[in-house]
Amino acid sequence: MSVEQEEKKYSGNNIQVLEGLEAVRKRPSMYIGDTSSKGLHHLVNEVVDNSIDEALGGFATTIDVTITEDNSIKVVDDGRGIPVDEQEQMHKSALEVVMTVLHAGGKFDKGSYKVSGGLHGVGVSCVNALSTYLRAEVSRLGKVYMQEYSCGKPTCPVTVIGDTDKHGTSIYFHPDDSIFTETIYDYSILANRLRDLAFLNAGITLTLTDLREKNDKGEPKKETFYSKTGLDEFVRYIDSNKEHLINDIIHISTERQGIPVEVAMTYNTSFNENIYSFVNNINTIEGGTHLTGFRRGLGATLKKYADDSKMLEKVKVEISKDDFREGLTAVISVKVLEPQFEGQTKTKLGNNEVIGAVETSVREVLGNYLEEHPNQAKAIVEKVILAATARHAAQSARLKVQRKSPLSGGGLPGKLADCSSRSPEDSELFLVEGDSAGGSAKQGRDRAFQAILPLRGKILNVEKAMDHKIFDSEAIVNMFRALGVTIGTDEDPKEANLTKLRYHRIIIMTDADVDGAHIATLLMTFFFRRIRPIIENGYLYIATPPLYRCSKGTVMEYCWNDMQLRQFIDKYGHGEEKQVKVQRYKGLGEMNPEQLWETTMNPENRMLKQVHISDAAEADRIFSMLMGEDVAPRRQFIEDNATYANIDA
């Protein structure tokens, strides 16, 4: 076909204009990030954030979230209620405009909302577009108004359905399963978000009810989240499983340059820094100018106090800014009228005026605290000196893990059975417990893209180890070398450098028993505490080997859990377990190479669980509890979460 013929074929009729919410349905990831579990839960956040904005304005005090039996969501607040009168630009009810038009909402009118998280105005309309059914009810001015929608389009006009003496908004929606790859809501993800919001907005009551799960009395699972004092309770919650260095929570609540600044901080005896920052209730996981201001204020104030008190005179090592943050837990929350975020994902604050507002607030309040509490101040400075001493010891120790060129192979550990691929995107590394399982994995793998690193001996619990001790661990040194990851720069001694990462799938493969689960937890603790970007980039996975090999005559199946085993017995053994042959795998080493490949390593058959962080603060609390010194909360966690828990007295 000639160019002229192609030009005639390509006409104005080929240019599509996506009207209304069609663009959202066509490209949902542009608006909510993705269409997996993360995007599914983001829908709830968008609706809840609208209710929170009402609370920030002083118009709402309660927000109720319900997961229904069919995985629909209902969010109810006692705010003012979305306006229902005619919106003059569109000549439609304001409720319909808010629910069906992008960039429409009260957030753009500074008289309606002083601060708001959802500045783009695409929140609830996106939820509507991505739901097969949505019902909005508004209690306002003595009446209850209702409108229903399907895939973002109204199916009825705004209708009065009753009288009321209440006020507020109710949104009920069912996500479109033709768009989302995951449609089952995770209770814990929603609970963690509502808990954060309760801490960030003192005095507001949030509830989460799960109608899918009921107790013996037929009552649904339900939690209420409420904080009287806010961020200081948030810090105590995060640090609940750590040993306190000081018992006080240093709480800063003030306003600078018209910016409300709230900070709560304390110190514990751990070797980790845990700072969580929020802007208008949005978790800025990449930090930003508010975090910069906090760190400047913290370092300058502590350094001045240490110098003035002459506590550093006999210290032989140089104190770095990072030493002031070891063992620190802090939450920073600022409210900004017009926040500037880097990118649509809103993960990094860019407003420069926030730096000075936070820094001066921290300098003033922290400085006063140190002067008024000399014992606590001394404990903090001594912790800083200890951190500096350990850092200098770690500088030489970490040189052990600096590997040479991947092509030369000179820096790779001897036990690594590497793959032939040199493309990180195509390569995967199996971390295998023990030489026996490692031998089967080496024989059963696909050498083209699968590497095997057997791990011998006990994995170090990095939760309770200082940096220089970590680099003394042979297993950890081998992992660093195999991965191609380096730790520590002159600017940041704990920063992980992933530029030479050799594998983009790092798979923990352990036995399917208690010991295997413990080793897997130790390894996840290592990655979370020391190479967190591995998890944040989606590179860490858990292999799931089968528990049973079942056979009856010529029929053979692998079973990954007891339910599958029972189904096999019921189907082929007519409910009688004497009737089928069941092999229980107690360890990976019991499988021959072919079986291990077929069930656990073959990309076409295997089931990998990707490790991700939905709430860093909650993850920190869980790891501290699981791997820390205190036994009681760990026992309680196991009893609450294990389906079958055999806990020794």
Q: Which residue type occupies 41?
A: H
C-alpha 547/C-alpha 210 separation (Å) is 31
C-alpha 300/C-alpha 295 separation (Å) is 8
Strand-pairing partners, residue 548, are: 559, 584
H or E segment to which residue 63 belongs? strand 62-67
The residues that are catalytic are 433, 511, 513, 515
Residue 596 carries which DSSP code?
A: H
Residue 58 carries which DSSP code?
A: T
- Tokens 């983001």 — which residue? 42
C-alpha separations of 371 from 103, 308, 329, 362 in Å: 50, 11, 21, 14
Is the Cα dihedral 327, 331, 334, 339 positive or negative? positive
- Compute and round to an integer the Cα radius of gyration of the chain: 28
Write the CB contacts of 319 (distance below 8 Å, at least 6 apart in sequence). Answer: 303, 306, 312, 384, 385, 388
Write the CB contacts of 516 (distance below 8 Å, at least 6 apart in sequence). Answer: 433, 510, 587
Is the Cα dihedral 365, 371, 376, 377 positive or negative? positive
Among 488, 459, 608, residue whose Cα is nearest residue 545: 608
Instruction: Give the number of other CB atoms < 10 A from CB of residue 12.
Output: 5
C-alpha separations of 414 from 174, 257, 398, 431, 455 in Å: 54, 59, 19, 14, 12
Query: Could you tell me if residue 363 is left (phi over 0), alpha (psi between -120 and 50 degrees) or otherwise beta?
Result: alpha
Tell me how many degrees the CA angle 327-331-337 measures, rounded to the nearest 5. Answer: 150
C-alpha 512/C-alpha 547 separation (Å) is 7
Structure tokens at 20: 């209304």
Q: What angle in degrees, to the nearest 10, is found between the helix axes of 187-200 and 616-627?
A: 110
SS in 3 state form for 188-236? HHHHHHHHHHHHHCCCCEEEEEEEEEECCCCCEEEEEECCCCCHHHHHH
Structure tokens at 439: 């031998």
Contact in structure between 644 and 517 (CB atoms under 8 Å): no
SS in 3 state form for 72-103? CEEEEECCCCCCCCEECCCCEEHHHHHHHCCC
Contact in structure between 390 and 467 (CB atoms under 8 Å): yes
Among 335, 347, 242, 354, residue whose Cα is nearest residue 295: 354
Structure tokens at 385: 């000196």
Residue 531 carries which DSSP code?
A: -
Three-class SS state of 288: strand
